[in-house]
């Protein structure tokens, strides 16, 4: 077994072959606090600790190898048990609210043309404990992380089982106890995954990377649209909203001269009709390998004026973490350390 994380106290009791169930609860409590050194689990009998060290020498499978801080964002480079590398980010807003931006895969198979992670291709899915361990590492920076967004490396709905297991662990009342409404899954538009979420009716929030409401343009920018075009996506979103009753966020990465025209605004307005949603405008974050450009301030103002005239509800996201390549679309690593 590679890690003790993403296991309930009952599972730990069985796996560790503990004679007393309360010891599993004690070990679980230490793990949630980020204590992975058995000798520091001071309320556990020495014999039990020695047994743990002998049979399960490592409680955690990953480690931090690099920390970068800037712009109210802190990015961690994490080395996994097989030496694969991922990144996760802690974001702090103006109200000092802290959000963990967590990865779900090493690389990504979606190949969105504006995203650096997509240049890696998919190396592998993360296991549930690897998703949870990112929170363990981020909490070494600040224990008061209250929100989680699955917006790091990878397409979360492409790794559905481990994602759901990790979400269940984050939600566990005796653990991190993070409410479903404080967790957001961001997807490129994998319709089958959205439909699965609808069936589960978890109460979790959904964000969709839309980028364009023009079907042909979106297919050129995002390969996922070739399999699940905009009409199918909208149908799935309406179904999700009907079941969940929650507002959906449409992430709109602004690409200069590509999706910032008056016609783009009109298409976006049309797509939002019938949806309870807010459009999150995100000026593209520069990536050396890609040929897009960030919109100018005047271009952004012109686009938002057009949205105002069309009564489209939107927010304009302030860029965080751009200087450390920790902003949206900038996360990527080498395959190995």
328 flagged as catalytic? yes
Q: Are 254 and 303 in contact (CB under 8 A)?
A: yes
Tokens of residue 40, six digits: 């520091």
| Contact between 202 and 157 (Cβ < 8 Å) | no
CB 194 within 8 A of CB 162: no
List residues bridging with 314 in a β-sheet.
279
Torsion angle (degrees, nearest 10) of CA 280, 310, 272, 283: -20
101 is a catalytic site residue: no
List the catalytic residue out of 108, 112, 253, 328: 328
| Annotated active-site residue in 87, 133, 169, 267 | 87
Tokens of 287: 């990536």
How far is Cα 154 from Cα 210, in angstroms, rounded to an integer? 16
Question: For residues 220 and 212, is the Cβ–Cβ distance under 8 A?
Answer: no
> What are the structure tokens assigned to 290, written together?
């890609």
DSSP string computed for 28-64 = HHHHHTT---GGG-TTS-HHHHHHHHHH---S---EE
The distance from CA 265 to its chain's CA centroid, rounded to whole angstroms, is 27
As annotated, the active-site residues are 87, 328
């Amino acid at each position: 077994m590679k890690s003790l994380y993403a296991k309930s106290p009952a599972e730990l009791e069985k796996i560790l072959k503990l004679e007393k169930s309360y010891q599993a609860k004690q070990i679980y409590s230490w793990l949630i606090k980020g204590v992975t050194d058995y000798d520091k689990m001071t309320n556990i009998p020495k014999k039990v600790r020695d047994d743990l060290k002998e049979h399960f020498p490592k409680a955690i499978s990953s480690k931090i190898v690099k920390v970068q801080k800037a712009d109210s964002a802190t990015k961690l480079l994490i080395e996994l048990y097989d030496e694969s590398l991922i990144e996760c980010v802690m974001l702090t807003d103006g109200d000092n609210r802290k959000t963990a931006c967590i990865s779900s895969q090493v690389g990504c198979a979606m190949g969105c043309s504006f995203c650096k992670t997509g240049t890696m291709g998919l190396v592998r899915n993360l296991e549930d404990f690897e998703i949870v361990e990112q929170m363990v590492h981020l909490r070494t920076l600040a224990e008061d992380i209250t929100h989680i967004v699955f917006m790091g490396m990878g397409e979360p709905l492409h790794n559905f089982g481990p994602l759901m297991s990790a979400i269940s662990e984050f939600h566990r009342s005796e653990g991190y106890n993070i409410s479903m409404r404080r967790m957001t899954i961001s997807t490129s538009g994998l319709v089958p995954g959205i439909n699965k979420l609808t069936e589960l009716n978890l109460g979790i929030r959904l964000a969709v990377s839309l980028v364009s409401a023009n079907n042909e343009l979106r297919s050129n920018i995002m390969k996922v649209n070739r399999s699940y075009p905009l009409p199918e996506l909208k149908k799935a979103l309406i179904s999700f909203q009907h079941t969940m009753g929650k507002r959906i966020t449409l992430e709109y990465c602004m690409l200069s001269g590509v999706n910032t025209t008056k016609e783009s605004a009109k298409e976006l307005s049309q797509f939002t009709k019938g949806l309870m949603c807010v459009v999150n405008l995100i000026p593209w974050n520069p990536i050396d390998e890609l040929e897009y450009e960030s919109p100018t301030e005047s271009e952004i103002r012109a686009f938002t004026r057009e949205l105002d005239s069309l009564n489209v509800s939107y927010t304009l996201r302030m860029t965080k973490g751009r200087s450390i390549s920790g902003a949206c679309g900038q996360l990527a690593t080498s395959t190995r350390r």
